[in-house]
Chains A and B, each alone.
Chain A
Amino acid sequence: MVNYIVRRLVQAIPQLLIISIILFALMQAFGDPVATLGARTPPKPADKERLRRMLGLDQPVPVQYLVWLAGNDWLKIDSDGDGVGDTPGTRRGVLRGDWGTSLVTRRPVTEVIADRLPNTLLLTGVAEIIIIVTSLLVGVYSAIRQYSLFDNLITTTSFVGYSMPVFWLALMLMYLFAVNFKRWGLPYLPTVGMFDPATGKTPAEVIKHMILPVATLAIISIAGYSRYVRSTMLEVLHQDYIRTARAKGLREWAVIMRHALKNASLPFVTLIGLDLPFLLAGAVVTERIFAWPGMGRLFIDHTQRSDFPVLMGILMLISAAVVIFQLITDVTYSFLDPRIRLE
């Protein structure tokens, strides 16, 4: 098992290197980082040219990649524009743990990401737990009571939930529970942000502000996931070993939980394993609408300014997470299904 994990991790290194080359090449299509500088009027051509030179954006793409990967302390930057390099670079490159500085905020990429990651994990993590627990409960229950009133009800509502666009649902919830409830004199929820400035950032405030975004994420996903659990459960419930288990006189609870659900959960674990790395990426639309300071918005904001050091940082983080969570998923398989052995 340990050998297997080590081997997989070693394999991941060239994998991530190739991913980084592809991403860096694709990054060039994102546009010009000095095109607007976020201003209402475009920068003066002389400033653009100077910034490109000082930030190293005038270098060929392969050189820029090398600088990103290995740093530029072996290069001299032409800071005064006379065509001759004069100032030694200070970047050490990703290989030496330097992820560069954001072209937008001029802060280290690791800091920029570290600021947002906890917020995103709080939001998507809580939502994911609610999604998993609820869809398991709902899915298992409607599989056991197939074609019951509850099952039909869930079937109908999940199609409604599944087909709702996120932005629409988010805005509807916001208008109903924040704007209209307040207008009608009912207990209401806040519209945007993580807390109310008058109260400060207390846990209670943050929870209050999380309700609507978490509900948005949960409603959409529970719909799909519970259907998934239901169908795999149904398949397993008709297997011979379930009948055997029941024939041995096991309690229904034990049959469902230990025999049926454990076997039915394999495809569900795959699904969650694929999902988890993207919890780090955040929920772009939900974060934007509820002004939640997470990774999804970070990605969008920095995409608009073609801030490739930050974008590379986020994408490499997600790539690494995909590799790791796939490994975890595979290890979980062997626990859930003894027939699967990792060698």
Chain B
Amino acid sequence: MKRSHQFMTLASLLVAASLVLAACQPATPPPPTFSGTATITFVQEPDNLNPLYTTMFFSGITRDFWLKALWSFDDNNQPIPEIAAEIPSAANGGLSADGKTLTVKLRDDVTWSDGQPLTADDFVFTYEMIVSDKNVVQTRYPYEDYVASVEAKDPHTLVVHFKEPFAAWLTNIFSGSPSAGQGVLPKHILQPVFEKEGTLDNAAWNRAPTVGLGPFVFTEWESGSHIIFTANPKWIRPPKLEQIFVRIVPDDAAQEAAILAGDTDIGVFLSSDQIEKLEAGGTVDVMAVSSGYDEGWFLNVNPETTHPAMLDVNVRKAIALATDRFTIVKDLLVEEVNPVNTTFWDGTAPYGDPSLKPYPYDPEQAKQLLDAAGWTDSDGDGVRDKMIDGQKVDLKLRYITNDRELRKNVQAVVQQQWALVGIGAELVNYSSDVYWNGYNDDGPQAQGLYEVAEYSSVGSFPDPEISSNWLCDQISSADNPDGANWQGYCNPQLDELLKKQATTLDRDVRIQLYYQIQKIMYDEVIYIGIWKDPDLWSVNKRLQGAKLSGATPFWNGHEWAVSP
């Protein structure tokens, strides 16, 4: 009954709509050289487009269209020169022998979209703006801690002096990476603003960067609705498309409908369970692209805060053996897309060591290890215990994560699996704005209020650098509240390797160092991988040429084309 009434109303609205549609066909023909619009849906709206004022992924990835940097990363995470004439190396003189000087030759044919030439001065200006006390920038990493100075040797030679050799330069120095502080600012536009207002915080360019560097140029941003980039004929690699239309669609289910209806060409942050449905229509491909994030367990081994059992490597190994991660990914995710991962760097090719394999599911061996470690169920309550200093201590571990639904489900399954071998689990969930807080802000990880913490993390992808998470002098405590080592792990041998890789500029040598680092963390069971968590993108088949990359997804936007 209701249906017929509803149908009548909507049918009449539809008739009206189709009349309107018929009367209003697009009239203007596209310009001769560029044609077509690619529509992309973002589930979050960028906050700011100036790279200094945003750390949002969805803002950073737009720069592939409108603000190219020294280099991008292709779909194999290999650096591709953009403004740089070539990727600096020891062989071409770009890297000094002591590793403390980076010299980048810039292409001499690059102009800003308004026709002004791009020079090394633009980079010097960008550096000055990042470290200036007048600008409330999101981050000063790595310029504040690692860079001594940035100079323009000549208009097309940029020289960066480091305080010590800085291995992660390729990702973190004026690169195309979506991280904060990358990219380059147009000095001729922004210096007058800085001189007049004393800060760049409120510059109009931050929201409407009509002057850029890329195959497309910013044209319009309507809050909450869309951002438009149009073809930039002046760019060194002119695009084929006329327009990129980024539409903000916050609801996952609505994004799915838009993908299915063909109202968007590219969608992102899809979940594994959507793949089958999206590909069923035959018009959409789903691509799994790693941006380094993998789900894993970080084990607290800080004697000050953790459960005494966690200090025994065999107990930690038993935890890994007692957890059937293979069934978890089969039941809660899509096994082909999200296989069990082993090391922290599995998603950061080529730094993950493929020879390491996940610990198997072997509850019997887990029991033996726990027995041998002295943890037995003496009181028959199902949870193992041990007498320590005359006190009976239960083997009950705090297993914490944020309040994401999938993680809660994993917690519940793991609790049951652990129970089979006599490990008790206390499940705790924190809201995301508390979970990653620092020591002084009552962050549960920073304060060590856990034995197992689950989340997905990454280094400075595609660079593997994240050493401070495991360095001895980074252990967080009341005396060192900013310490990034929330696991309290301290191993001089690992320390040495982490410090060595951070200053090793030879990539092959560095990869070998990472293999050694992973071997230690694997044997010591400091990190237990749960599943690989690549970004899932949908690409409509009408869009051709999109080779999405994990670091700079739209790096080859100039090659994209759409079939009418």
Contact = CB atoms under 8 A, between A and B. Distances in A.
Nearest to B535: A40
Interface string A153-173: 100110011000000000101
B14 A291 contact: no
Nearest to A130: B9
B94 to A, nearest CB: 28
A44 B437 CA distance: 10
Interface in B418-470: 431-434, 436-438, 441, 457-458
B105 interface: no
Contact of A156 (B2, B18, B201, B251): B2
A198 B37 contact: yes
Interface residues of A, number: 81
B224 A298 contact: yes
A105 to B, nearest CB: 5
Given A106-B201, A160-B2, A192-B254, A44 B248 contact: no
Interface string B254-273: 11011011110000000000
Interface string B7-27: 001100111011011011010
Given A171-B254, A199-B26, A293-B223, A39 B17 contact: no
Interface string A37-80: 11111111111111100110000000000000000000000011
Nearest to B24: A204
Contact of A37 (B44, B55, B207, B225): B55
Interface in B225-246: 225-226, 228, 243, 245
A153 B222 CA distance: 43
Interface stretch (B81-89, B137-145, B188-196, B510-518): B137-145
Contacts of B39: 197
Report, as a range, how many residues of chain B touch the other chain. 35 or more
A305 B56 CA distance: 12
Interface in B333-365: none
A217 B412 CA distance: 38
A43 B17 contact: no
Interface in B456-501: 457-458, 481-482, 484
Contacts of B6: 219
A55 B257 contact: no
A40 B433 contact: no
B44 A38 contact: yes
Given A32-B437, A47-B141, A39 B180 contact: yes
Nearest to B6: A219
B293 A157 contact: no
A208 B10 CA distance: 12
B251 A208 contact: no
Interface string B520-533: 00000000000000
B257 A191 contact: yes
Interface of A: 31-32, 35-51, 54-55, 79-80, 87, 101, 104-107, 112, 115-116, 119, 153, 156-157, 160-161, 171, 173-175, 177-179, 182-183, 187-194, 196-200, 202, 204-205, 207-208, 211, 215, 219, 288-294, 297-298, 300-301, 305-306
14 contacts: A37-B56, A41-B458, A43-B139, A45-B438, A46-B482, A105-B48, A171-B253, A188-B261, A191-B254, A197-B247, A198-B26, A288-B254, A291-B225, A293-B224
